[in-house]
Amino acid sequence: MRNTNWRVLITVLCILTAAAGVQAAPPQREKQVVYGITPWTGKEFGGTFAPKGIDTIYLLANCNNVLNTLETEVYFWPITNEYMANWFEAREEVPGRLQILQDGKEIMVLERQPYNHYYPEGFYSGFSELLIGEEAEKKLQEYRDAIDSYWQAVSEYRKAYAEYEQRMSEILREVTETGKTYSEDELPKPPEQPTPPVWYASQVTEGFIVNLPVGEYLIRTIDEQGNVIEGTEKKLKVFDRRRAGVGYQIIPESKWTRPVQSDDATQILYMEGKRTMYLKAFHASEYNQHDYLKMTSLEQPLAGEGATSAYMWVHEKEVPRDTKIQVLRGGEVIYEAEYRPYYVKQTPGYALGYEIIEFDPEAEEFAGRRPSFEAVKLELEPGSYEIRAVDSSGRVLEGSVRSIRAVNAVPMWQLYLLSLLPVAVGLVVVIGRRRLRGHAAKPVTA
């Protein structure tokens, strides 16, 4: 009992100590010259950096990547096991040019160039295009003009709407006083509210645009006299994908919030009973896992460690909307499905459920709403199938073929019956033994 009381007392003291604000010492910050890196990942532009403790940078081959030599405060955050940079309080550009060497020989020297990111589907879509030089300045000005036009349209809309409300008030007063009626055609139409531009262009900044073939290089920042700036020498590994194909995101109707992926053409998809699923197809590439994770998360020292011989698939750009999915059985195409928009509708009542219905933008029930997703709907009976993606000309996309095995569902009562089989066998054995003992115990009479 005493031991229990002491444990309770110690626990209370620990809680009070934590509540009093006793904290570990903050991580130590150190001013460093680092490389800010904006790599092209195959599907979007990422963001990472190379601090003093990292000696190799990883980039994809034959595409534009952005590097910049910067001075900032760096500290190591042990909770997430990564280096962090204090970009908001300390970020200075280190003057100079980027020198690139291979096998000890200089192959190019890069000057900083103006660039920005253009988001055709909006900033939060994630997908952007890298614009360089005059193209970047021009797109930024277009965006500013579009924003100015939008606010001008908003001002005109507010004025027109005030006039519309005043006119409707006059009509309402006239109807009240005189009893005069107006037909729908005679009533004024409300002004149409302007919509802001969906696309976005970021501010123009400067950096080194690096585009190199596969290989191993050495990079360093040099000043006007050609001297190497201390702390800027890094190894650079430029790699490419091993192979390309088509990856699928499979959305089961019964678990639409938990999609699964199929990337390798050798994979076989198994289903139980009749199933409805929705497919989204992506162009996919397979990369060395170590190099790819280092490229996207260089600030994490353990990223990709132990995966130098492993490969990973990355879903890149989604296939065009005119792509169709063919379902084959016995080598013959049995039907063809195309992309359509769908809406996930919550089931009314206390039960937590939903149904997936085709989205019709003209229908009244979908007014002011957007589709939940766009995909190809497949409904398969038990059996063996193949699926493949074909483009608008009917050409089969390479790496898009998958095998599907849909098997009949086993009724639950059969599973329960199967589980009772060992019990039944045991009962038969026990009853048989008891009968044998009974026969052996009976007296033999002449």
261: domain range?
Answer: 243-287+311-407
Q: Is the same domain home to 259 and 147?
A: no
Q: Which helix (H) or strand (E) holds 435?
A: helix 412-441
DSSP letters, 121-159, are T-GGG---EEEETHHHHHHHHHHHHHHHHHHHHHHHHHH
Q: CB within 8 A of 303, min separation 6: which ones?
A: 293, 294, 296, 297
343 lies in some domain: yes
296 lies in some domain: no
Q: Is the same domain home to 58 and 203?
A: yes
* Phi, psi torsion values for 281, nearest 5 degrees: -105, 140
- Provide the 8-state DSSP code for 198: S
Q: Residue 26 and residue 375: Cα distance in Å, rounded?
A: 48
201 lies in some domain: yes
Pairing, β 91-93 against β 65-77: antiparallel
Q: Residue 272 and residue 409: Cα distance in Å, rounded?
A: 5
Q: Is the same domain home to 44 and 110?
A: yes
Q: Is the same domain home to 187 and 275?
A: no
CA distances from 440 to 7, 127, 426, 434, 445 (A): 65, 86, 21, 10, 13
How many other β-carbons are positioned within 10 Å of the β-carbon of residue 211?
A: 14
Quickly count helices (H) and strands (E) in the chain.
4, 25
Q: What angle do CA 62, 67, 68 make, to 5 degrees?
A: 160
The predicted structure's pLDDT at residue 11: 47
DSSP letters, 26-38, are PPPPEEEEEEEEE
CB-CB contact of 274 with 406 (8 Å): yes
Q: Is the same domain home to 205 and 252?
A: no
The predicted structure's pLDDT at residue 298: 95
| Count of structural domains, the chain | 2
Q: Residue 405 and residue 268: Cα distance in Å, rounded?
A: 7
Which pTM does this prediction carry? 0.79
Q: Is the same domain home to 44 and 105?
A: yes
CA distances from 9 to 5, 13, 417 (A): 6, 6, 55
Q: Is the same domain home to 180 and 249?
A: no
Task: Report the CATH number at residue 361.
Answer: 2.70.50
Q: Is the same domain home to 113 and 234?
A: yes
Closest by CA to 120, choosing from 27, 63, 201, 193, is 201
Q: Is the same domain home to 69 and 108?
A: yes
How many other β-carbons are positioned within 10 Å of the β-carbon of residue 135?
A: 15
Q: Residue 398 and residue 375: Cα distance in Å, rounded?
A: 20
Write the single-letter amino acid at 102. Q
Match 């009244």 to its residue by tokens.
364
293 lies in some domain: no
9 lies in some domain: no
Q: Is the same domain home to 180 and 319?
A: no
Q: Residue 15 and residue 2: Cα distance in Å, rounded?
A: 20
Report residues of the chain scoring pLDDT below 70: 1-25, 349-352, 408-421, 424, 430, 432, 437-446
425 lies in some domain: no
Q: Which helix (H) or strand (E) holds 16?
A: helix 2-19
Q: Is the same domain home to 205 and 152?
A: yes
Domain ends where: 212, 240, 268?
240
Domain ends where: 224, 240, 256?
240
Q: Is the same domain home to 178 and 39?
A: yes
Pairing, β 91-93 against β 105-110: unpaired
The two three-digit tokens of residue 53, written as one number: 């403790």
208 lies in some domain: yes
161 lies in some domain: yes
The predicted structure's pLDDT at residue 6: 44
